Amino acid sequence: MVGPTRLEEYSEKYKDLFLMTRRNGILEVRLHTRGESFQFDWPALTAYGNVWSDIGRDPENEVMILTGTGDQWQVANPEVWKTKFMDWPKKRKLEMYHESLRMIENMIFCIDIPTIGAINGSGSHWQMGTLCDITICAEGTDFFDAHYLGGVSPGDGIVLTLQNLIGIKRAAFYAYTGRNMNAQTALDLGLVSEVLANEQLLPRAWELAEMIMQTPRTVRHLTHSILSRPWKKALVSDQGFQLAHQVYDMAIDEEGTFERLMKLRERFQRKE
């Protein structure tokens, strides 16, 4: 008989990307790169899908907190795009498509416990924090989607998240303009539920997790199932469609994402 995964095993396996601690059934997963803000690259993309599967198969996990390190959620490293996607081997293109799907889908379909996203600052792939049941963020956090301005169709899940949380018209505006949405606006539009000072963010996440733990386990699991069902429906209906459009666009792109990002990097760094 094959037993469940164990924290001691998978926490060691992912320690260079995800630092994990568990107390009284509450698992904290903290993104990091060498103890600093998480730097996204292709090995990280692969690890994302795998880590959700391992966490979800551990029955000792009863609530999950997802957070980052330092004052940035994730750092998008344009160096990963130095090789144009159209020049990638066909096999690797297909792998990247599936890994990009699993990054989001495995979080929603493999984790059957309440989840709390504590977004500690601005950065890429913030949709992972907003896919959690409860999302809180630090005061200085900006949310934005750089895909369209960078010459890439936005299909990695950010637009899907915006469409489902703030509405299709607002999602279209932020997708086309790449405009920064500050923490207060994110709160007003319903992207997050609370905005806190940086030093209060993680303690508040633990406070919420401990509150959730006060109810019976069956209630927690079944409530999470109810609350996550809209995401499951959205992913099944639209995520593969949106991602396929982005990947196709990249596959026929002769200029390359890296070159455009370098031209526009001041735009991405400027707050509005």
What are phi and psi for residue 146, nearest 5 degrees?
A: -90, 0
Question: Whole-prediction pTM value?
Answer: 0.94
H helical segments located in 57-151: 90-110, 127-130
- What structural domains and CATH numbers belong to the chain? 7-269 (3.90.226.10)
pLDDT score, position 271: 46
Helix then strand then coil, in percent of the chain rounded to 5, is: 50, 15, 30
Residue 80, both tokens: 């990963």
pLDDT of residue 260 exceeding 90 = no
CA dihedral angle for residue 163, residue 255, residue 98, residue 10, rounded to 10 degrees: -100
d(CA 126, CA 138): 13
Q: Are 81 and 256 in contact (CB under 8 A)?
A: yes
Q: What is the pLDDT of residues 139-194, one digit of tens each?
A: 999 999 988 988 889 999 999 999 999 999 999 999 999 999 999 999 999 999 99
d(CA 215, CA 58): 20
Q: What is the pLDDT of residues 204-258, one digit of tens each?
A: 999 999 999 999 999 999 999 999 999 999 999 999 999 999 999 999 988 877 7
pLDDT band with cut points at 50, 70 and 90 for residue 50: very high
